[in-house]
């Protein structure tokens, strides 16, 4: 630690020396016109020298007496620059002694190719744009502390261009999702993040307090109930893509703050939502992969449509070998699986599915027809009210989407939310709150509607081939550092 501290002190002293010379190490502005990729492509095409003006961060510096080489990294990539005393005169010493790795500089120069065949910029002029005080990690080892990578993402991005590229691609994928929905007539809306009653999912909310109104508010766990109000109001296709907050644990697949897409379409049902889910995700896969087959963590996944479909009961039968769904048989199988069969029939089936089937679903595969008692906002099947018209999408053993034919009968919805409210009063932190205004909206008549929610961060894990949700969230939540 002493050597790092000394290096930092040396850099701070260089800042003082620059200022004493009348050089501002942090100027207000700098205009450049070229980038590393375009420069290389133009030179390869024309094979002629030309003048360029670039800006970037010094990643590597090698001094050979009266000449030096640097690797400059801009937003597109890296390019080598070359400087010599005979060209720069007294400014060469400034570049040689006062510019360190990590510093951001602007360079004007002529492009050429070295004897080793590397396209390089011969420096004619340079300007320091931002002096780096903290030394960068050693080039060949990078950041070896995984916790540090997440806590100091800016440093992770400086050192590893692939990290910067990952988050650039994340932004492009999210833009493409929006364009996909715009092209199909969906209207993007914004619903409250601070809600007086959190609803739309079974989850424990974060609670905050509004001083002026002297009332507790909740960070939203889902936008669902507000989006349904909008459907009731007459906009037939709506979506929201934004942050949700759930007061739950942190793991490779959970972050308390995450990005969700929810969309609702009037005069549609869960089968329509299945079609749009397939179409959207397969479109994104092909757009950014040029193939419907992608590799995730060493396994290949084929997103060619149509995808497999199982009912929840069929999935239990297929993956666990159930020979019957009589209650006594189910309870016996639950015991064999190590579960305490002290739940009702459908809740027990749902638990068996979640604990022992979900992880086996490589997918992409749709699991349909969940028990009504586990899906309080979904519409029951007309042929069997014990189950609802609902599906979940599974990829790589994880749930990625949840959709259903929305319950629009206000009388039944009231009854179900009353059951949820009683469960919450009985100590179930994740049970839903009762929302009288939502029921009031339904009483004005909501058309038959299909709704869909997709966890964007989990989907990006698949598309960007990373094992943890923290690898696709640019600033994931971390436990406080211990002193």
pLDDT tens figures, 44-85: 999 999 999 999 999 999 999 999 999 999 999 999 999 999
Can you give the pLDDT at residue 146?
Answer: 82
Average pLDDT, the chain: 94
Residue 342: pLDDT band by 50, 70, 90 thresholds?
Answer: confident
Cis peptide preceding 4, ω within 30 of 0: no
Question: Could you tell me the pLDDT band of residue 1, with boundaries at 50, 70 and 90?
Answer: very low
Q: Which is it for strands 104-113 and 119-130: parallel, antiparallel or unpaired? A: antiparallel
- Peptide bond just before 97 cis, omega within 30 deg: no
pLDDT at 213: 94
Q: Give the pLDDT of residue 479.
A: 82
Q: Are 394 and 310 in contact (CB under 8 A)?
A: no
Whether the predicted pLDDT of 145 surpasses 90: no
Share of the chain above pLDDT 90, in %: 88
How do residues 95-106 score in pLDDT, each as one tens digit? 999 999 999 999
Q: What is the pLDDT of residues 427-452, one digit of tens each?
A: 988 889 899 999 999 999 999 999 99
Q: How confident is the model at residue 471 (pLDDT cuts 50, 70, 90)?
A: very high
With a cut of 60, say whether residue 140 has pLDDT above it: no
Residue 70 tokens, joined: 């640097």
Its pTM stands at 0.91
More confident site: 375 or 146: 375
Do the first three CATH levels of 2-136 and 159-307+363-471 match, i.e. the same topology?
no
Neighbours of 258 (CB within 10 A): 20
Architecture of domain 2-136: Beta Barrel (2.40)
Measured CA to CA, the distance from residue 294 to residue 463 in angstroms comes to: 8
pLDDT attached to residue 483: 59
pLDDT at residue 3 in the model: 55
Residues forming beta bridges with residue 67, ordered by sequence position: 64, 84
pLDDT surpasses 80 at 232: yes
Give tens-digit pLDDT for 173-193. 999 999 999 999 999 999 999
CATH number at 159-307+363-471: 3.30.930.10
Annotated domain spans of the chain = 2-136, 159-307+363-471
- Residue 2: per-residue pLDDT: 46
Give 253-307 pLDDT, tens digit per residue: 889 999 999 999 999 999 999 999 999 999 999 999 999 999 999 999 999 999 9
* Burial category of 367 from C-beta neighbours within 10 Å (exposed 0-12, middle 13-18, buried 19 and up): buried
């Amino acid at each position: 630690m002493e050597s790092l501290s000394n290096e930092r002190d040396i850099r701070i002293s260089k800042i003082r020396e620059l200022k004493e010379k009348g050089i501002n190490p942090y100027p207000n502005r700098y205009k450049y016109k070229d980038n590393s990729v375009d420069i290389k492509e133009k030179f390869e095409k024309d094979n002629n020298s030309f003048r360029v003006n670039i800006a970037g961060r010094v990643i590597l510096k090698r001094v050979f007496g009266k000449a030096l080489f640097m690797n400059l990294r801009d937003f597109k990539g890296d390019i080598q620059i070359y400087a010599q005393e005979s060209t720069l005169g007294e400014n060469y010493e400034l570049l040689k002694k006062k510019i360190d790795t990590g510093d951001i500089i602007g360079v004007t120069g002529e492009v050429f190719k070295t004897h080793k065949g590397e396209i390089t910029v011969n420096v004619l002029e340079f300007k320091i744009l931002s002096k780096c005080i903290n030394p960068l990690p050693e080039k060949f080892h990078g950041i070896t502390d995984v916790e540090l990578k997440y806590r100091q993402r800016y440093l992770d991005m400086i050192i590893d261009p692939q990290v910067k590229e990952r988050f650039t691609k994340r932004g492009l994928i999210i833009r493409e999702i929006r364009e996909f929905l715009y092209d199909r007539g969906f209207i993007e809306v914004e619903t409250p993040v601070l809600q007086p009653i959190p609803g739309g999912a079974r989850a424990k909310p974060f609670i905050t307090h509004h001083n002026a109104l002297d009332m507790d508010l909740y960070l939203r766990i889902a936008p669902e109930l507000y989006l349904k109000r909008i459907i009731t109001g007459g906009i037939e296709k709506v979506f929201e893509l934004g942050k949700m907050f759930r007061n739950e644990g942190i793991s490779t697949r959970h972050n308390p703050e995450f990005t969700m897409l929810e969309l609702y379409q009037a005069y549609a049902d869960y089968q329509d939502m299945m079609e749009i889910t397939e179409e959207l995700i397969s479109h994104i896969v092909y757009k950014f992969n040029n193939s419907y087959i992608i590799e995730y963590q060493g396994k290949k996944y084929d997103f060619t449509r149509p995808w497999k479909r199982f009912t929840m009961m069929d999935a239990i039968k297929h993956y666990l070998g159930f020979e019957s769904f009589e209650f006594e048989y189910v309870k016996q199988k639950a015991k064999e699986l190590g579960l305490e069969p002290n739940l009702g029939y459908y809740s027990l089936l749902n638990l068996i599915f979640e604990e022992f089937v979900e992880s086996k679903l490589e997918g992409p595969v749709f699991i349909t027809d969940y028990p009504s008692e586990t899906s309080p906002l979904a519409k029951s099947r007309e042929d069997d009210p014990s189950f609802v018209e609902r599906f979940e999408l599974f990829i790589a053993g994880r749930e990625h989407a949840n959709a259903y034919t929305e319950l629009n009968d206000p009388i039944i919805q009231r009854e179900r939310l009353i059951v949820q409210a009683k469960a919450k009063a009985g100590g179930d932190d994740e049970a839903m709150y009762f929302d009288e205004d939502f029921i009031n909206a339904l009483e004005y008549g909501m058309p038959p509607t299909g709704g869909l929610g997709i966890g964007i961060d989990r989907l990006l894990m698949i598309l960007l081939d990373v094992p943890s949700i923290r690898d696709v969230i640019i600033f994931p939540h971390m436990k406080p550092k211990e002193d």
